[in-house]
Amino acid sequence: MLPAEPTLQQFSNPFVRYLAATRPAFLSVTLVACLIGLASAHAGGAGVAPLTALATVLFGLLAHAAGNVINDYHDALNGADEANTGRLFPFTGGSRFIQNGVMSTRQTGRFGYGLLALVVPLGLWLAWRSDAALIWIGAAGLFLGWAYSAPPLKLVARGAGEAVIVACWLLVVVGADFVQRGEFAWTPVAAGLSFALLVANLLFINQFPDHDGDKAAGKRTLVVILGPDSAKWGYFGIAVMAYGWLIMQVGGEALPQACAAAAITIVLSFNAARDLREHARQPAELGRAIKLTISAACLHGLILATALAFDWRA
């Protein structure tokens, strides 16, 4: 049974209200991405400094939280969340804070962009502690986080949402590695891309319950562009790319062989793909598939991080 949508009475405490507006449960994928990056640096022989590691995690979580709130703000302005009657809360349709009167549109916008502003000094401090090149990684991530939802680019509304998600979560892994290593390396890319693709599949499957609301608001997501009957095959395609990449990197010895254990999550991804093929036009039946998608991404990333942390090479 899905939880009830938020009300002002439920979140009368301002601190709890603003924290919940960031959708903290969904920040777990960013925490996992940071762990992959830190483990990658450790596997490469870099000593992991606790203070910068903690700051890196905080940076990633703040950036993701800002993106969540900004997305709610712009989906309120364009009417997508208001028109979304097929949503599966809490997975799709936004936080519902604006639509249910918990926060105003103006409060949400100020909060989202305020969080984004907090990321800047933290990122500059991390660059000072590691290398100035980190600024380019952070700047790219912040730009994509803003351009995902905000006009004039509104990339998610132009069918580019999945590509942005892959780029953002790959940047988190690469950035977390870079802070410790102080230079670019292939390992975080080898480990991070399969994870980032599985995170993109979460966005992709969430677009099915949101299809009607997005279409009414003029958001041309991939599911709107292709239509549910054709788009349902895209989930399977993204999953195949993710696991294919992982096996290629392990086979090419870019990753320890123990990282191949992350491929076990293909069972979760393919079960979700099957549910989606059967219920692409029945969004109310996709709750299980969305949960499987979240589990596949997080478990995949945790296995990768563990294998890299212990560097179990054959």
For the cut 90, the answer to whether the pLDDT of residue 231 exceeds it is yes
Q: Is residue 190 part of a domain?
A: yes
pLDDT tens, position by position, 284-309: 999 999 999 999 999 999 999 999 99
pLDDT tens, position by position, 244-288: 999 999 999 999 999 999 999 999 999 999 999 999 999 999 999
Mean pLDDT of 3-29: 95
Number of folded domains that form the chain: 1
For the cut 90, the answer to whether the pLDDT of residue 314 exceeds it is no
Written as six digits, the tokens of 30 are 């960013």
Written as six digits, the tokens of 269 are 């991804």
Mean pLDDT of the chain: 95
Q: Is residue 136 part of a domain?
A: yes
CA distance 238 to 310: 28
pLDDT of residue 197: 98
CA distance 242 to 202: 13
Q: What percent of the chain has pLDDT over 70?
A: 99
Q: How would you class 195 by CB atoms within 10 Å of its CB: exposed for 0-12, middle for 13-18, buried for 19 or more?
A: buried
For the cut 60, the answer to whether the pLDDT of residue 40 exceeds it is yes
CA distance 69 to 146: 11
pLDDT of residue 47: 85
For the cut 60, the answer to whether the pLDDT of residue 25 exceeds it is yes
Q: Is residue 3 part of a domain?
A: no
For the cut 50, the answer to whether the pLDDT of residue 14 exceeds it is yes
Q: Which of 8, 23, 31 is nearest to 111 (CA)?
A: 23
Mean pLDDT of 222-236: 96
* Banded model confidence at residue 311, pLDDT cuts 50, 70, 90: confident
CA distance 65 to 28: 11
Mean pLDDT of 94-100: 96
Q: Is residue 104 part of a domain?
A: yes
pLDDT of residue 3: 81
Mean pLDDT of 21-41: 97
Neighbours of 14 (CB within 10 A): 8
- CATH number, domain of 306, equals 1.10.600
pLDDT of residue 1: 66
Mean pLDDT of 151-174: 96
Q: Is residue 243 part of a domain?
A: yes
- H helices of the chain, where? 14-21, 28-43, 50-77, 105-129, 134-149, 161-181, 187-206, 211-216, 222-226, 228-251, 266-279, 287-310
What residues make up the domain containing 102? 14-310
Q: Is residue 5 part of a domain?
A: no
Q: What percent of the chain has pLDDT over 90?
A: 96
Q: Is residue 162 part of a domain?
A: yes
Q: Is residue 2 part of a domain?
A: no
